[in-house]
């Protein structure tokens, strides 16, 4: 599993990340409110292009796969955010999701993360891990939808580590 491929859910298409997504994604990620829990601020299109070049090139560590998708809302045709997984040794994945402010509250993060989890499970990933700020209740709801449980352990950034085993892809 070294490359992502398109994933279709009920309302969304998860497209493998491409450098060409940077301009539109800069708009999706432009609201400073998105960074309340993570710090930092909105990236410029140039900064996203540079980041996407690195991400598309893949992880430099052997046995690690960087899988990144942008989320396309099929109704509007617009990008709405992204999901990503860093897969270690083919069996464990650190997962994350970000949805632009305009698409929040519509179940987009949940649907996209579940689509990614199904795809990963079908390819042998057995454990999912997420790092979530203790005050980010919306992300905690997405993690619970994936079957993850807060471990009570925090990482170096003060985020709670959530863990869970993947299930049969059809059971999500």
For residue range 113-139, list pLDDT tens digits in order: 999 999 999 999 999 999 999 999 999
Q: For the segment 82-118, what is each residue's pLDDT rounded down to a tens digit?
A: 999 999 988 999 999 999 999 999 999 999 999 999 9
Residue 170 pLDDT: 66
Confidence class for position 171, pLDDT limits 50, 70, 90: low
pTM given for the model: 0.94
Q: For the segment 8-25, what is each residue's pLDDT rounded down to a tens digit?
A: 999 999 999 999 999 999
Nearest residue to 14 (alpha-carbon basis) of 148, 167, 117: 117
Residue 161 pLDDT: 98
Confidence class for position 75, pLDDT limits 50, 70, 90: very high
Q: Is 27 helix (H, G, I), strand (E, B) or coil?
A: helix
Tokens 């490359």 belong to: 3
Q: Which two tokens stand for residue 73?
A: 């809302």
Residue 23 pLDDT: 98
In the chain the first and final C-alpha atoms are separated, in Å, by 21
Whole-angstrom distance, CA of residue 7 vs CA of residue 16? 9
Q: For the segment 24-38, what is each residue's pLDDT rounded down to a tens digit?
A: 999 999 999 999 998
Whole-angstrom distance, CA of residue 144 vs CA of residue 38? 20
Nearest residue to 84 (alpha-carbon basis) of 92, 74, 72, 93: 93
Percentage helix, strand, coil, to 5, in the chain? 35, 30, 35
Residue 140 pLDDT: 98
Indicate the pairing of strand 127-132 with strand 92-99.
Answer: parallel
Q: How far is CA 161 from CA 15, 20, 28, 40, 150, in A?
A: 27, 32, 26, 21, 6
């Amino acid at each position: 599993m070294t490359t992502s491929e398109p994933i279709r859910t009920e309302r969304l298409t998860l497209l493998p990340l491409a450098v060409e997504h940077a301009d539109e994604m800069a708009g999706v990620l432009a609201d400073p409110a998105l960074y309340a829990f993570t710090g930092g601020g909105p990236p410029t299109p140039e900064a996203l292009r540079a980041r996407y070049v690195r991400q598309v090139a893949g992880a430099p560590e052997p046995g690690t796969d960087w899988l990144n998708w942008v989320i396309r809302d099929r109704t509007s045709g617009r990008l709405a955010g992204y999901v990503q997984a860093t897969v270690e040794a083919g069996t464990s994945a650190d997962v994350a999701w970000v949805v632009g402010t305009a698409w929040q509250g519509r179940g987009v993060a949940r649907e996209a993360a579940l689509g990614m989890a199904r795809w990963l499970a079908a390819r042998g990933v057995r454990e999912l891990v997420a790092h979530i700020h203790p005050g980010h209740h919306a992300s905690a709801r997405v993690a619970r939808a994936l079957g993850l449980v807060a471990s009570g352990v925090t990482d170096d950034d003060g985020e709670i580590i959530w863990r869970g085993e993947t299930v049969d892809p059809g059971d999500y």
